[in-house]
Amino acid sequence: MAPKKQKAEEDQPDIRDSFDYKMNPGKVKEDKTEEAGTSKQADHLHTFTVKFGADGREYTIACTQPDGVLQVIKSHDFKEKIKGPDEKIVIKLGEGIDGPIVATHFPCSCVDEGECLTITTSTNKVEKKQKEPSVLPKDNYSVFFIDKVGGENTKTKPAKLFRCNNIPGKFRFYCVYAEKGMKIKEALRLDGRFVDDLSDFSLSCNKSGKFTRCTEIVDCLHEKKFQICLEKKKNPDVQQPIQKQDATQHQSTSVDSQNKNKTTSVLEYAKSNSVSLQTAIKETGSEVDLKEIKKLLQQQFPKLKNWMEERFPGRSFRKALELKKEKFGKIQQSFSEVRTIRELVRLSESVCLLELKENNSAVTVQGSGFLLFDNFVLTSAHLFDRWQTIAIGNWGDYFTITATFNSEKQDGSERPWQAKGVLWNNDLDYALLELTCESPTPGPTETVPPGLLERFGPVPEPNDDGGACIIGHPGGGVKKMDLTCVIRKENMEQAVEQNLQSYRDYIFTLCSVKYQIKRHRYADIHVTYNSFMYHGASGSPVFDAFGRVFGLHTGGFYFEEFIPGHSVIEYAFPLLKVFENLLDQMRNNGREDLLERVKEVAKGNIHLETILDRKLNQNKDQIHCEENQEERMETGKPESE
């Protein structure tokens, strides 16, 4: 705690000694005048704004009494807008991905004048309920930031840091406050969003890389950003050689039991530190038999042996690679016909380079997209993550979108179109943009390339060669093509193993990577493949060998400890799924004009017409059901009639 002021009497407790004390200027002695209370409110008066979830409206709050930010907001008649218990409330400070989240009891005095707070609700408990602390003037606090990405020795233990690891919305840091003089570990305990047993750790400064132990005071952390680093704990069996154990116990322990304990210790060390068995043996200094490890693994994980034997049934890994080369040779042959190449080059004219430039800053985001129909472009929604809290109709106030077609030379000869947002969906990761005739540079062409909607088709069937061609602007550079092949669901694990062959000894970590990919919420929808099209290629169309476009190239699964800057495997969303959702979005947003135009463009495409017919019948059934319900309500007839 901060040094206390001199007390008038030694037995008079300082109210700041109790962290549970809550200041309330309304509870003053009866002999104080009303003018004095009014003066105190005037001294504290400051304003900030608040938004609630997806509601784009900002409400101004005049804060007249010191309190936690959630209590201040609730006291201004906003209780009905705050859903769920306090423990599930998430409060974001500021805009964009750089905006940190604060605790519900964050002091209002630490909120800057005019700052915006966004209130959302999590499905899980984010914060442990705490007693409201006393709120002091801003100068009494040290405010610092904890990165949600852990530092050293935390990669495999995210649950050991934060109470909730699935907080909705995009953010990077937890904003933590503490009264000056308080120890770091005490500040995190009182914050409520960190696990209760977080006691032995250090903070690594993101900028300087210097470490600060958790037993230091918070004063030196103000306005800095840190990662939590856990201490590397040695396995007890490794730290204490058998020689140091009690002699009687040692004599009664058989040699086989000793060897088994050593082997178990090495396996646990490899698992907890995500290292290979060879590394674990070297770092622990244990002399163990690899055959004994294999035997123990088979005993502990009976399915592991079968799984390892079934990875390449009836053939070696080398033969599997040869089959892969043979298959890819057939794919190259499918795309090598002149007419196919000519058709793909023609269709590539509809692919554009997208640039999102933030107003009044140097921030630029690059991606790819393609003409869907008329002057509407389809791309990936995650390009706009930085501005996701901004209503789509207000995007133009914060950043400028430009689309450049036929950008093969990058010599500045192509003039970009400006664009604005129309619709987007985070689940299927797509955004629909509309090109305008206004250009940041004079003289854009009055026509755009043809749209690709009429060429939508299904993902290649298993009996096809599975060939795919991605066309986009990786790295924001010139337009490129990448030939690849679709990886079937049943072959995805094998593909991940092949891509991580140099890490095959990291058994537990390899299994963890495959598990995370397999358990992704859209694993059943993703179309996976291997591609060099990384950053900047999101939003590219994926074609088959017949010139049909079946996928929206979206991204990859990144595990920086394996392949820094590159993904383990890449994926796209099926465009027929996107199309079906897009119809719902158009109807829900009242864009009947777009729906009618889509119906016209889709004529002759059996896949699109089938989806349209199904959607049309669903709407008819829904309208009929609503009409029947209205009739029953008017006539008073029961539902059975």
Give 78 or 463, the one with higher predicted confidence.
Answer: 78
Task: Tell me if residue 300 falls in helix, strand or coil.
Answer: helix
Identify which of 293-302, 357-366, 622-631 has the greatest average pLDDT.
357-366
Among 120-129, 298-307, 614-623, name the one with the lowest average pLDDT.
298-307
Q: Where is 318: in which H helix or E strand?
A: helix 317-335
Q: What are phi and psi of 430, to 5 degrees?
A: -135, 155
Q: Which of 379, 347, 324 is nearest to 546 (CA)?
A: 347
Q: Where are the alpha helices (H) located in 192-316, listed in sequence order? A: 236-239, 247-252, 255-273, 277-284, 290-300, 302-310
pLDDT, tens only, 565-602: 567 888 999 999 999 999 999 999 999 999 999 999 99
Query: What is the structure's pLDDT at 514?
Result: 77
Query: CB 419: neighbour CB atoms within 10 A?
Result: 26
Distance (Å, whole) CA 152 – CA 148 = 13
What pLDDT, on a 0 to 100 scale, did the predictor assign at position 478? 87
Tell me the pLDDT band of 32, cut-offs 50, 70 and 90.
very low
Angle between helices 592-602 and 606-635 (to 10 degrees): 140
What pLDDT is stored for residue 35 in this prediction? 41
Q: Is the pLDDT of residue 492 over 80?
A: no
Evaluate whether 567 touches 556 at the Cβ level (below 8 Å).
Answer: yes
Residue 322 has pLDDT above 80, yes or no: no
More confident call, 551 vs 124: 551
Does 374 score more than 50 pLDDT?
yes
Q: Percent of the chain scored above 90 by pLDDT?
A: 34
The pLDDT tens digits for 414-469 are: 678 899 999 989 999 999 999 986 555 544 445 788 999 999 999 987 555 578 89
What is the pLDDT at residue 1?
42
From residue 277, give the alpha-carbon distance in Å to each of 232, 450, 562: 18, 56, 17
Residue 413 has pLDDT above 90, yes or no: no
Residue 38 has pLDDT above 50, yes or no: no
Place of tokens 């088979």: 298
Alpha helix ranges (H) inside 425-544: 492-499, 507-518
pLDDT of residue 132 exceeding 60, the answer is: yes
Q: List, in sequence order, every residue forming a beta bridge with 46; answer none if it has no partner.
A: 63
Q: What is the pLDDT of residue 353?
A: 93
Distance CA 399, CA 389 (A): 13
Buried b (16+ CB within 10 A) or exposed e, 437-469: eeeeeeebeeebbebbbbbbbebbeeeebbbbb
Confidence of residue 37 (pLDDT cuts 50, 70, 90): very low
Segment 334-347 shows an average pLDDT of 79
How far apart (Å, rounded) are the C-alpha atoms in residues 27 and 21?
Answer: 13
pLDDT band for position 340 (cuts 50, 70, 90): confident
On the 0-12 / 13-18 / 19+ scale of CB atoms within 10 A, 365 is: buried
CB-based contacts of 561: which residues, under 8 Å, 6+ apart?
155, 274
Confidence of residue 31 (pLDDT cuts 50, 70, 90): very low
On the question of pLDDT at 42 being above 50, the answer is yes
| Mean pLDDT along residues 300-316 | 47
Q: What are phi and psi of 393, to 5 degrees?
A: -70, -15
User: Is residue 638 scored above 70 in pLDDT?
Assistant: no
Cα 72 to chain centroid, rounded = 30
Is 21 exposed, middle or buried, given 0-12, 13-18 or 19+ CB atoms closer than 10 A? middle
pLDDT of residue 236: 42
User: What digits encode the pLDDT tens for the residues 185-228?
Assistant: 999 999 999 998 888 899 999 888 899 999 999 999 999 999 99
| More confident position, 600 or 641 | 600
pLDDT in tens, 290-303: 666 666 655 655 54
Determine the distance from the C-alpha atom of residue 362 to the mean position of all C-alpha atoms in its chain, rounded to a whole number.
23
Residue 325 has pLDDT above 70, yes or no: no
Mean pLDDT along residues 75-99: 84
Which of 219 and 308 is assigned the larger pLDDT?
Answer: 219
Question: Stretch 270-289: mean pLDDT, rounded?
Answer: 64
Cα–Cα distance for residue pair 191/107, rounded to 1 Å: 12
Give the separation between CA 148 and CA 531, rounded to whole angstroms. Answer: 29
- Looking at every residue in the chain, the average pLDDT score rounds to 76
Residue 474 has pLDDT above 50, yes or no: yes
Helix (H) or strand (E) segment spanning residue 575: helix 575-588
Give the length of the chain.
641
- The pLDDT of residue 472: 92
pLDDT at 245 over 60: no
**pLDDT at residue 233 tops 50:** yes
Query: How far is it, in rounded angstroms, from Cα 154 to Cα 580?
Result: 41
Mean per-residue pLDDT, 74-99: 85
- State residue 315's pLDDT score: 43
Instruction: Find the largest Cα–Cα distance for the chain.
Output: 95
Question: In percent, how much of the chain has pLDDT > 70?
Answer: 66
Rounded CA gap, 452 and 350, in Å? Answer: 7
At 452 the pLDDT is: 96
